[in-house]
Amino acid sequence: MEYQTVILGAGAAGMMCAAQAGPGTLIIDQARAPGEKIRISGGGRCNFTNLYASPENYLSQNPHFCKSALARYSQWDFIDLIGRHGIAWHEKTLGQLFCDDKATQIVEMLQAEMTSAGATLWLSTQLIALSRRESGFSLELEREGKRVAVTCRNLVLATGGKSIPKMGATGLAYDIARQFGLAVTETRPALVPFTFSDGRFAPLSGTALPARLSNARASFDEALLFTHRGLSGPAVLQLSSYWREGEEIAVNLIPDLPLYDLLRAQRQSSGRKALSTELARHLPAKLIDHLGPMLDLSGNLADQSDAALTTLCARLSDWRLTPSGTEGYRTAEVTLGGIDTDGLSSKTMEAKTLPGLYAIGEAVDVTGWLGGYNFQWAWSSAVAAGRAI
Ligand code: FDA
């Protein structure tokens, strides 16, 4: 069978690309359903883009690479698309846009777009072998227990990253890229919780508060969540993309709280109140219990000198921790790194040394922050390739 274009992977990027590439396009996936990560994303409501998406929200060895695709198919273009499909949405926080109803609306929309563009979708299909031919590629596929030979002029790698192997994530795009001489940068789990091997935070499991998490490279003000294994929540997931094994992180537990002034005022009006009781009005009581031995929270407010309050606030705003590691690909939302952007055109996502080969979405070394940025990259890179094909 001969197709103009074969797209490997019917996830966010692959489906969007098929909708653009149109007739003569075959899109295949090993899964039984397309867009499984879209379906489970955003707690079932899909955080499909971010109002503030811009190149600064992406990590890559070449921070300029994502600019062209993001500019030519922006969050506003995607908002326009879902508007045309009558999908209602809302902003949750920090520009993050979610479906009002359910994430499967986005999957259905992409399927409808692919169908009207004339693309063919094969599910439960495995790639058995792939080679180059004079004007394109030869693929051997296995579908419904049968071997099928397919040839195509264009091949699009859209099989995503390694995150969540249980959902069928594989390193296929990286393997094919290497097979055709493209470099792949180091890949690591990102947007992933931190672990502490001594289980020190287990008693705090479920406790959450707003915090600022920082290291030498980045700083995020979002929620911090204590878990049985360590730390999670948006602030932690964000910082994990900028963290390396063995590094210390700084946690500010009172980023927006004028605690020093509040404690001094209370010392004036309620000096006999225990310091720990007053602190528990501003921070979770379990956390105060946990920090007690480290901070010496004994005594009443009246016992605290200005210097003691200054020291206390300084320690609460600069709590240093060294995670043992992360939860890895098992729970990571994305894979950092991927197909080296040096080998790709930023306008079309086509391999510079192998015309007809394209790479899009998470498989490429472009990784977004938490908050709808990764789907926006999937849409933008897919449209760049789809329009060029
Ligand atoms: P994607 O992973 O979507 O698709 C790859 C496809 O390739 C899959 O359908 C897979 O089955 C197929 N495939 C893989 N290997 C194959 C093989 N060997 N043969 C055939 N097919 C193969 N982002 C965001 O912006 N907002 C959000 O709300 C969330 N939420 C979220 C929740 C969870 C739990 C996760 C794990 C991830 C997110 N993300 C997210 C990240 C987002 O899901 C991710 O960045 C995009 O899905 C990437 O799109 P791709 O199309 O590149 O890969």
> Residue 346's pLDDT is what?
98
Question: Are 32 and 7 a contacting pair, CB within 8 Å?
Answer: no
3-state DSSP call for residue 207?
coil
**Helix 12-21 × helix 373-388 angle, to 10°:** 30
Q: What are 139's strand-pairing partners?
A: 130, 150
ipTM score of the complex? 0.99
> Residue 204's pLDDT is what?
97
Which among 37, 140, 336 is the best mutation to test ligand 1's pocket, defined by most ligand atoms within 8 Å of the CB?
A: 37
pLDDT in tens, 73-124: 999 999 999 999 999 999 999 999 999 999 999 999 999 999 999 999 999 9
Asked if the model's pLDDT at residue 302 lies above 90, the reply is yes
- How many Å lie between the centroid of ligand 1 and the Cα of residue 12? 6
Which protein residue's CA is at the shortest distance from atom 37 of ligand 1? Answer: 333
Which protein residue's CA is at the shortest distance from atom 43 of ligand 1? Answer: 37
Which protein residue's CA is at the shortest distance from atom 48 of ligand 1? Answer: 362
Atom of ligand 1 nearest to the CA of 382: 51
- How many Å lie between the centroid of ligand 1 and the Cα of residue 367? 12
> Residue 329's pLDDT is what?
98
Q: For ligand 1, is residue 343 a contact (CB within 6 Å)? A: no
Mean pLDDT of 130-138: 95
In whole numbers, what is the pLDDT of the chain averaged over residues? 97
Q: For ligand 1, is residue 340 a contact (CB within 6 Å)? A: no
Q: What are 231's strand-pairing partners?
A: 194, 226
∠283-284-288 over CA atoms, to 5°?
A: 80
d(C-alpha 302, C-alpha 266), whole Å: 9
Q: For ligand 1, is residue 240 a contact (CB within 6 Å)? A: no
Asked if the model's pLDDT at residue 22 lies above 90, the reply is no
Residue for token digits 């390694």? 162
Residue for token digits 């790709």? 344
Asked if the model's pLDDT at residue 60 lies above 90, the reply is yes
**pLDDT-derived band of residue 144, with 50, 70 and 90 as boundaries?**
confident
- How many Å lie between the centroid of ligand 1 and the Cα of residue 163? 8
3-state DSSP call for residue 219?
strand
pLDDT in tens, 187-239: 999 999 999 999 999 999 999 999 999 999 999 999 999 999 999 999 999 99
- How many Å lie between the centroid of ligand 1 and the Cα of residue 232? 21
Atom of ligand 1 nearest to the CA of 361: 52
d(C-alpha 84, C-alpha 86), whole Å: 5
Q: What's phi and psi for 148, nearest 5 deg?
A: -130, 130
d(C-alpha 68, C-alpha 74), whole Å: 10
- How many Å lie between the centroid of ligand 1 and the Cα of residue 306? 52
The edge-to-edge listing of strands for the beta sheet with 249-252 is 319-321, 249-252, 208-214, 219-226, 230-232, 194-195, 325-326
d(C-alpha 365, C-alpha 59), whole Å: 8
Confidence (pTM) = 0.97
**pLDDT-derived band of residue 296, with 50, 70 and 90 as boundaries?**
confident
Q: For ligand 1, is residue 47 a contact (CB within 6 Å)? A: yes
Q: For ligand 1, is residue 371 a contact (CB within 6 Å)? A: no
Which protein residue's CA is at the shortest distance from atom 19 of ligand 1? Answer: 30
**Residues near 224 by Cβ (< 8 Å), separated by ≥ 6?**
208, 209, 210, 211, 213, 231, 233, 235, 236, 251, 253
- How many Å lie between the centroid of ligand 1 and the Cα of residue 293? 44
- How many Å lie between the centroid of ligand 1 and the Cα of residue 204? 32
